[in-house]
Amino acid sequence: MLFKPYTKNFGAGVNSTMSNLETILSRDAYILSIEIRLYWFVALVYGVCLVLYLIHLITKKTGPGRLATNMLWLGVITHAGLIMLRTFEGQRAPFQTLYESLSWFAWSASLTYLYVEKRWKDIYLPGILVAALSMGACLYALLTRSPAVEPLSPPLQSYWFEWHVVLAFLSYAVFVVSCSIEITYLTIKPSVKKGLRLEYGLNSGNLETFHRQSFRLALFGFPLLTFGIFSGAAWANDAWGRYWGWDPKETWSLITWTVFAIYLHSMSMPRWNKLPASIFNILGFICMLMTFIGVNWLARLLGIPSLHLYAM
Amino acid sequence: MAIIKNIKNINLQKVRENKLYKRFASLKTSCVFLGILVGFYILGTIFPQGASLDDYIKSGGRFTSFVIFFDLLNLFTTPGFLITAFLLFINLTICAIERFLMLRSQRKTVSDGSQFSESFSFPLDINPQLESAEESVKEIFKKELKFNEKACPHTKDFGVGACADSGITIMEKGWSYRWLTWIYHSAILLCFFGFFLTYLFSYEDEITLYPGEAAAIKPAAVSRWNKSWGSKPQELGFKLMLDEFITEYNQFPKLDYPADKLSRLAVAMGWKDPKYILKNESYFPKDWKSRLKVINLSPKSVIGEGKQTVLEKTIEVNDPLSYQGITFYQAAYKQNLKVQVDDNPILFETEVGKELIIPGIDGMLKFGAIRTGMLFKKDGSTEKIKPFTEATLIKEDSSGKREVEKLGKLEQDGGLYVADKRISLREFKEASILSYRYDPGVPVLWWSGVIVLLAMAIRIFGAWYRIIYRIEEKNGRPHLLFKVKTRGLMADEERLIKMVQLSFLNMTEPIDLDTPV
Ligand code: HEM
């Protein structure tokens, strides 16, 4: 475990155990209320970024795009504070519940995007999907998940726990950015080839280098996802006595991994490394979404009872 | 002997030229197999794997005849899935062999050199004599830029004039990405082997242990391999004894926080603050532990004071015990309790979670998990829990509709009144449920997985450079003509070119172009 369980007494001068406990509980509730509001604020900032990126898309002006990126920096920095606050609150790595991992996912996707975007000059289109997903992830957590700081249940008390979640969700974040570049490339390529829509910062000179980032990101994410699956299996082997159980969550992560393996392979095949590869990259992204929120959705859609409902 | 060898060679060559073999050596084929597997996986997430057909139908399952025909509830053991996985395995094996042969013959190195056309060129401020310039350049690439010279490609592949003649030098830096790729692909093959061992030889079962009893272990299941030979389950050569079963809880206050979306938004706007409340059910499992002893039945392995205990370990979730290839996991626990009704000396026994009918009481009693052991409180203190359970009364009307009434907390030796009858908790007993498994695939998978991860990480995150250069005289001055190839995300071509330029600028032997040599 990265963090020791919380044992320190809080509220100096309080003698009776009961009032001591009450002090702790009201302090915890107070921190939680700040944390929740900060989380909402971060979601709002991502929302504003999304609107600004969309204005950039509609007006073709660089100003809103640049502003959106600056706002995204604000979101990411505040969000880093939020993650640290949650760490302090729970006295452990904040990756236990979906409420927490969605926050980590949104933050790492935005940060990865900002890191990649720094290499370009006035290209902002991929920001649309990244801001939309970051906002969506935060809102989903805030509106549907419990924000309570839970103690670690016995199955989670494993040295695999933090690394498994951190790296798997980091890979998802990287795939989001990869896919947003891929979609931008696919939609703008025909126009750029004709010398149109150059206002978005892409031209025949930089289009292919821009697109290459998408491959590099998927390449970066692939070993992380491989580690995510491997560590998940090693952990399941320790906790449940079986490294693989074909549970829908496990299986969807394997699907995502396999689709990205097909994508990476097709990139080294002359006939497949153009449109087919792009499609595989986008499919990989869709599978990734299925892995962490869409599990069982397909079964429900077809009216098939899934007896393996995974606690999320 | 030599003839046999020759025949072998000829056949091998023929096999390698076979159309089917070639198809299996192709990357496209792997993508197709991987794609088919994805199809199986998706079906496997739609249909509940491992469910019985009865359960499936009872819970409203559809497409039943389709499910039966394709065995969709056990998809991952159907021949269709296994054959596809096997074909991918063959595909990967052939690819690994082919690539190994290719890597050994270094054909790739050659093709890079044979198409040499420089990407960069700049004049060298060194001794304009070409021969000594070559020496100095080599020296700089090796000593300053830490490159290694690669063997000169074979003449036959390189066309007319070997690389020495064409003046090309090939140098590399970093771990060979091709070998790394080969290593992790081969390790994936080993993973397949691990899965195969699991598929054939693993078996698992469960055992319930009561404290103080040494239990013999006889798995109900046999491995697929043994089953195919008609073997029956065998009792294991040792017994397991549970010395103590320990439960620990964390104090987990309930959060008073709205579930509906609008109220949550209102909380965000400061309308209401979230609150933590402590209640009876604020017990969150911290640990379940079993103190186990392995007792060996063969007298030879007896150690220490004539006892037969060969191993002792306290296991918990995520920390199992392994002995003779079998691993025991803390899976769950079972609690039985005895209640007394008024002063009746005959006690009623039941299991936690099961319904109990007591004469004279309308309805059925049900008891929740007995909280016992240690409580770790929020303020850092600990407290021994006085064992208690939560009781409920379940009434069923003639239409089968159930009504559940919470009766409250029932402490050990304490009582609760139900329909004028006093129910007291007198005794309880805990048993630890362990699952156990024999799986020889795990170590294989573990080690091959580590190799896959390491080789893949070095290949993808690392940096590998190849530089191909030639020195040519232009206008009486030696020029360095070179091209660079990189692999790995850390490889930075621009930085390398800058470093090359810088290294050659810093050369100590500036030339005086006016002095005739
Ligand atoms: C479970 C199956 C497989 C996985 C997960 C996998 C994974 C990968 C990954 C991630 C890459 C890209 C990174 C790199 O170039 O090192 C790659 C490249 C490659 N794979 Fe696979 N692979 C699999 C099966 C196969 C099979 C069956 C073949 C044989 C046809 C194959 C041949 C190749 C080749 C030739 C490359 C290009 C390497 C290069 O750039 O030099 N792979 N594989």
pLDDT tens readout for residues B174-221: 999 999 999 999 999 999 999 999 999 999 999 999 999 889 999 998
pLDDT higher than 70, residue A13 = no
State pLDDT tens for residues A73-124.
999 999 999 999 999 998 888 988 889 999 999 999 999 999 999 999 999 9
A100-103, long-range: CB < 8 A, 24+ apart = A100/A141, A101/A165, A101/A169, A101/A292, A102/A137, A102/A138, A102/A140, A102/A141, A102/A145, A103/A39, A103/A79, A103/A137, A103/A138, A103/A141
Residue closest by Cα to atom 38 of ligand 1: B181
Q: Which residues of B touch A237 (CB under 8 A)?
A: 442
**Mean pLDDT confidence for A207-214:** 95
Q: pTM of the full predicted structure?
A: 0.90
Amino acid at B275: K
Separation between Cα atoms, residue A296 and residue B452, nearest integer Å: 30
Separation between Cα atoms, residue A58 and residue B385, nearest integer Å: 65
User: What's the pLDDT at B23?
Assistant: 93
How far lies B475's CA from each of A204, B131, B333, B479, B510, in Å?
Answer: 36, 16, 88, 9, 17
Report how far ligand 1's centroid is from the alpha carbon of B30 (Å).
Answer: 9
Return the sign of the alpha-carbon dihedral for residues A11, A13, A19, A21.
positive
User: What's the pLDDT at B156?
Assistant: 43
Q: Is A34 on the interface with B (CB under 8 A)?
A: no
DSSP symbol at B299: G
Separation between Cα atoms, residue B487 and residue B493, nearest integer Å: 10
pLDDT higher than 90, residue B283 = no
Return the sign of the alpha-carbon dihedral for residues B471, B474, B475, B479.
negative
Phi (first) and psi of residue A302, to 5 degrees: -90, 0
User: What's the pLDDT at B352?
Assistant: 92
pLDDT higher than 60, residue A308 = no
Q: Do A213 and A116 contact (CB within 8 A), yes or no? A: yes
Pocket test for ligand 1, best of B24, B28, B30 (most atoms within 8 A of CB): B30
How far lies B66's CA from each of A272, B36, B62, B70, B72, in Å?
Answer: 34, 19, 9, 6, 8
User: What's the pLDDT at A293?
Assistant: 74
**Mean pLDDT confidence for B152-176:** 65
Residue closest by Cα to atom 27 of ligand 1: B92
Confidence of residue B2 (pLDDT cuts 50, 70, 90): low
pLDDT higher than 60, residue B122 = yes
Shortest CB distance from B318 goes to which of A157, A246, A266? A157
Please name the residues between 68 and 97 in chain A that touch chain B, using a CB distance below 8 Å.
none
Shortest CB distance from A269 goes to which of B28, B381, B445? B28
Kindly provide the residue ranges of all beta strands, DSSP E only, lying in B257-368, ordered along the sequence. Answer: 275-277, 283-296, 309-316, 321-323, 326-341, 348-351, 355-357, 364-367
pLDDT higher than 80, residue B251 = yes
Amino acid at A61: K
Q: What percent of chain B has pLDDT over 90?
A: 51
Q: Do A52 and A71 contact (CB within 8 A), yes or no? A: yes
User: What's the pLDDT at B334?
Assistant: 93
The mean pLDDT of chain B is 86
Check residues B381 and B120 and name the one with the higher pLDDT.
B381
Give the distance, in angstroms, between the CA of residue A277 and the centroid of all CA atoms in the same chain: 23
Separation between Cα atoms, residue A309 and residue A299, nearest integer Å: 10
Give the distance, in angstroms, between the CA of residue B262 and the centroid of all CA atoms in the same chain: 40
Phi (first) and psi of residue B36, to 5 degrees: -65, -40
The first and second tokens of residue A307, run together, are 């007896």
Q: Which atom from ligand 1 is nearest to the alpha carbon of B26? A: 30
The stretches of chain A forming alpha helices (DSSP H) are 17-59, 62-90, 98-117, 127-144, 160-193, 207-239, 248-266, 275-289, 297-301
> How many residues can be counted in chain B?
517
Residue with tokens 């938004």: B265
Confidence of residue A159 (pLDDT cuts 50, 70, 90): confident
Q: Do B61 and B46 contact (CB within 8 A), yes or no? A: no
**Residue among A296, A311, A291, A300 at smallest CA distance from A250:** A291
Separation between Cα atoms, residue A97 and residue A149, nearest integer Å: 9
User: What's the pLDDT at B412?
Assistant: 87
User: What's the pLDDT at B162?
Assistant: 43
Cβ contacts of B141 within 8 Å, gap of 6 or more: B147, B149, B171, B467, B469
The mean pLDDT of chain A is 89
State pLDDT tens for residues B325-370.
999 999 999 999 999 988 888 899 999 999 999 888 888 999 999 9
Instruction: Give the least confident one: A127-131, A187-191, B146-150.
Output: B146-150
Confidence of residue B3 (pLDDT cuts 50, 70, 90): low
State pLDDT tens for residues B383-442.
999 999 999 999 888 888 888 898 888 998 888 888 888 999 999 999 999 999 999 999
Separation between Cα atoms, residue B315 and residue B295, nearest integer Å: 16
Check residues B160 and B16 and name the one with the higher pLDDT.
B16
User: What's the pLDDT at A191?
Assistant: 95
User: What's the pLDDT at B4?
Assistant: 63
Please name the residues between 243 and 262 in chain A that touch chain B, using a CB distance below 8 Å.
243, 246, 248, 251-252, 254-255, 258-259, 261-262
Check residues B229 and B12 and name the one with the higher pLDDT.
B229
pLDDT higher than 60, residue A186 = yes
State pLDDT tens for residues B453-466.
999 999 999 999 99
Confidence of residue A303 (pLDDT cuts 50, 70, 90): confident
Confidence of residue A188 (pLDDT cuts 50, 70, 90): very high
pLDDT higher than 60, residue B1 = no
Which residues are paired to B367 by β-bridges?
B391
Residue with tokens 């008390």: A157
Report how far ligand 1's centroid is from the alpha carbon of A125 (Å).
Answer: 31
Check residues A169 and A13 and name the one with the higher pLDDT.
A169
Shortest CB distance from A307 goes to which of B48, B257, B274? B48
| Nearest chain A CA: its distance from B86 CA (Å) | 16
User: What's the pLDDT at B140?
Assistant: 87
Exposure b/e, A170-197, CB count within 10 A at least 16 = b: bbbbbbbbbbbbbbbbbebbeebeeeeb
**Mean pLDDT confidence for B114-139:** 72
Exposure b/e, B134-163, CB count within 10 A at least 16 = b: bebbbebbeeebebeebebbeeeebeeebb
User: What's the pLDDT at B414?
Assistant: 84
Confidence of residue A14 (pLDDT cuts 50, 70, 90): very low
User: What's the pLDDT at A8?
Assistant: 38
